Amino acid sequence: MKIRFNQPEKRIPEVDRGMRVQYGEAKRPGKPWRWYLILVVASLPLLYLVGLIVKEMILIEASGRINVPLVTVRSASEGYVEQIFVEPLQPVTKGEELALLTNDLLENNYNRIRNELEFLDRERDKLQFQVNNVASNSMQLLNFAREQRDFYLGRLRGYESLLKQNAATQAEIATARSQYFSALSNFASIERTQHLSKNLTPEIRQISTRISQLMLELSTIEDQRAQLLLTAPDKGLVTELFIQSGEYLDQGQRLLDIMFPEEAYINAFIPPKYHDYAVVNQIVTVKFPNGETAEARIASVPGVTQKATGEDLGPLETAQSAILARIELIDTAQTRLINGMPVDIRFHYFSD
């Protein structure tokens, strides 16, 4: 039997040169869907690239990070920690007491100044009382003593004139001279008392000046004493404590950190090609890592660019400058806002 390698294609494979060939049934019959599956798997990279292109054309996205304001409370004055009123993760309200410090030197100065002020107040009141009494009576007494002096002086001059005319005796002259000297002595005494009262006024003025200086020092110390009681600047959450009771703190040393979740906002990094959307009051959709979405708006655009962090970049992307925008939530998010948590920002392509 001659073997031929160039046999023409047979339209009926079950018949060979007029004779029927009995073939057995196929063990694995061909299924078309397998070929389609192979085609789809082989086309996945291409479909992925096409999907990225379509997504880039339809969806306008930017990366963002949640920023929760955090304030570090520091001691305004040095002292020992007497009492701590809060614990970590405890919510606080505005003005709520956080901790109390004590400063022995400050308390001693406060008590010393108060005692000195009380003493000077008593001395000033005493001197002022004396001045008022002397001032109210000395002027009338001085006028009366002056009139008495002038009267007895005139009387003495009259008796001396009569003595020259032999109309008065030496005894009358002596009596008149004695009355005049007595009136003169009384006038000098009252005048000296009035002069003394005038000299008290500068002393009162000096005491008043000292009291004013001490009041200023006392006011400063009272402000420092008020700073020993530390209060919350606003409603927030205590995140961490750095102190313990009995510890000595220097001025400006950290006490605790307070976070303000209600003032949280989002820093969005908008690619420069979407700069037309980086406008104030632009409505956006924020997508959180757990899939929740919330409406938000652009509150401000500082007009600066900032390079995106490495965590926001893909494996084949390089760090590029982006437009920085501050976004505030309009809807209340059920997701807990954690400082630094990444989110996706989606702009409304078909918005008016």
39 within domain boundaries: no
* 128 in the same domain as 76: no
- Give the dihedral sign, CA 229/234/237/239: negative
**Same structural domain, 90 and 117:** no
Do 89 and 238 reside in the same domain of the chain? yes
pLDDT per residue as tens digits for the range 168-179? 677 777 777 777
Sign of the four-CA dihedral 30, 35, 37, 42: positive
192 shares its domain with 266: no
Is residue 239 located within the same domain as residue 95?
yes
Q: What is the pLDDT of residues 206-244, one digit of tens each?
A: 877 888 888 888 888 888 888 888 889 888 899 889 888
Is a pLDDT exceeding 80 seen at residue 137? no
CATH of the domain at 280: 2.40.30.170
Q: What is the pTM of this model?
A: 0.55
Residue 10 has pLDDT above 80, yes or no: no
The whole-number average pLDDT for the span 306-330 is 69
**Are residues 309 and 215 part of one domain?**
no
Which domain range does residue 133 map to?
A: 104-225
Residue 110, CA distances (Å) to 105, 118, 174, 301, 313 in order: 9, 12, 68, 51, 60
Judge if 97 and 246 occupy the same domain.
Answer: yes
Q: What is the mean pLDDT of residues 62-86?
A: 89
Question: Is residue 345 within 8 Å of residue 64, measured between CB atoms?
Answer: yes
Q: Would you state the pLDDT for residue 9?
A: 55
Establish if 338 belongs to a structural domain: yes
pLDDT score of 70 more than 80: yes
- The number of domains in the chain is 3
Over the chain, what is the mean pLDDT?
Answer: 79
**Beta strand 248-249 pairing with 321-329:** unpaired
Assess whether 127 and 172 both reside in one domain. yes
Question: Looking at per-residue confidence, does 331 or 32 come out higher?
Answer: 331
